[in-house]
Amino acid sequence: MSSKSLKFGNHDYKEAFDAEIYLDMYYGSLRSEIAAGEQIPFMLRSFHDVFSKGEITGKRLLDIGTGPSILSIISASQYCDSVYLSDFLPQCRGVLQEWVDGQLADKFNPFLEFVINLERTGETVTSRENKIRSKIAGILPCDLYKEQPFEPGHLSPFDVVTTSLCLEAVSEDVSTYGTFVKRIAGLVGKGGYVIMYAVLGDTTYYVGEEEFKSLSISREQVEKIWTNAGFTITYSRVNALPENEKTKYCEFEAWYIMAARKQ
C-alpha cells in the first residue's frame, strides 16, 4: 500500500491508521508541533462552553467516532450518568479500553487539567479521570456506512450524542455526509442533543506518512444538513485557522462546533 495514496471513506483505515502515531501527532501536547496554536484549546473550550450552560444533560451519552482519545467527553461526561464510546477501528477501541483499564497513566492529563482550570472547581486530575472512567458503559464498534451503524446490536435513543473530527474524515462527498447525519439522528431521542466538533474546508490529513482524504465542507452546508435532518441549531461557533498555523499536515480553513436539538 503506497503511503502516497488517499484513503477514501473507511476503506483501508484498518490497515493504514496508526492510533499511537495519530495521538502523538495531534495530541502530543496542548501545542503539538503539527497542530500548533489554538486547535486543541479551542476544542476543549468549545465543549466546555456548550456544556457549562447546564442546558444539555441526560442519562445516556454516546460519542461517535471517539478515536484514540477522550477529549470530546471530558466536559460532556459531567452532564450525563453513563457514557458510551464508539469507533470503527479496533486499534482505536483498544487504546480506549487500555485507558479505561488504567494502563495509560497520565496520557490525557494535560487536557484534563486544562478543562478543570476552565471550570475552576479545584478538582484533581486523578479524581476527574476516575470519575469519567466510572461512567464508561461500553466501547462499541461503529460503522456509519451501515444503515444500522451498531448492528447486529440495537441501541435505544440517547439523550446526548457527541462526535468530533469524524464525519468529514469518513464522508466521500456531501451526499454521504448527509446520509451519515440521518443515521446519527436516528440515535438521538426526541428533544435530545447533538454536539459536533469539526474542521471546515479540509481535503486531506496525515497520520505519519499516510495521507487520508477529508471532505471539504462549509459551515452553511453543515448547518443545512443538520437542520434538514430535524434539528434546531442552538449554538455554533467558528474560528478561522491563521495562515501562520497552516502546515502540510494541517490545511483546513476553520474549526467549528455546533450544538443542535432534535425537534
Residue range 141-168: mean pLDDT, rounded: 94
Beta bridge partners of 140: 86
Residue 105 has pLDDT above 60, yes or no: yes
For the entire predicted model, the pTM comes to: 0.92
Tell me the domain boundaries of the chain. 13-262
- The pLDDT score that the predictor gives to residue 12 is 80
Buried b (16+ CB within 10 A) or exposed e, 157-195: ebbbbbbbbbbbbbbeebebbbbbbebbbebbbeebbbb
Residue 33 has pLDDT above 60, yes or no: no
- The pLDDT score that the predictor gives to residue 37 is 57
C-alpha cell at 37: 496554536
Residue range 84-88: mean pLDDT, rounded: 97
CATH number attached to the domain at 13-262: 3.40.50.150
Cβ atoms 254, 240 nearer than 8 A: yes
- The pLDDT score that the predictor gives to residue 152 is 86
Residue 114 has pLDDT above 80, yes or no: yes
Sequence-ordered list of residues with C-beta below 8 angstroms from that of 248, at least 6 positions apart, any chain? 206
Pairing of strands 136-141, 158-164: unpaired
- The pLDDT score that the predictor gives to residue 53 is 93
Q: How far apart are CA 208 and CA 114, in angstroms?
A: 26
Q: Which of 180, 172, 192 is nearest to 62 (CA)?
A: 192
- The pLDDT score that the predictor gives to residue 156 is 95
Least confident piece of the model among 2-6, 100-104, 192-196: 2-6
Percentages helix, strand, coil for the chain (3-state, rounded to 5) are: 35, 25, 35
Residue 252 has pLDDT above 60, yes or no: yes
C-alpha cell at 179: 446520509
Residue 261 has pLDDT above 80, yes or no: yes
Beta bridge partners of 248: none
Q: pLDDT (tens digit, 9 = 90+) per residue, 197-213?
A: 999 999 888 898 888 98
- Please state, rounded to an integer, the average pLDDT across all residues of the chain: 90
Least confident piece of the model among 31-40, 85-94, 237-246, 253-262: 31-40
- The pLDDT score that the predictor gives to residue 132 is 97
pLDDT classification of 34: cutoffs 50, 70, 90? very low
Residue 141 has pLDDT above 50, yes or no: yes
Residue 164 has pLDDT above 50, yes or no: yes
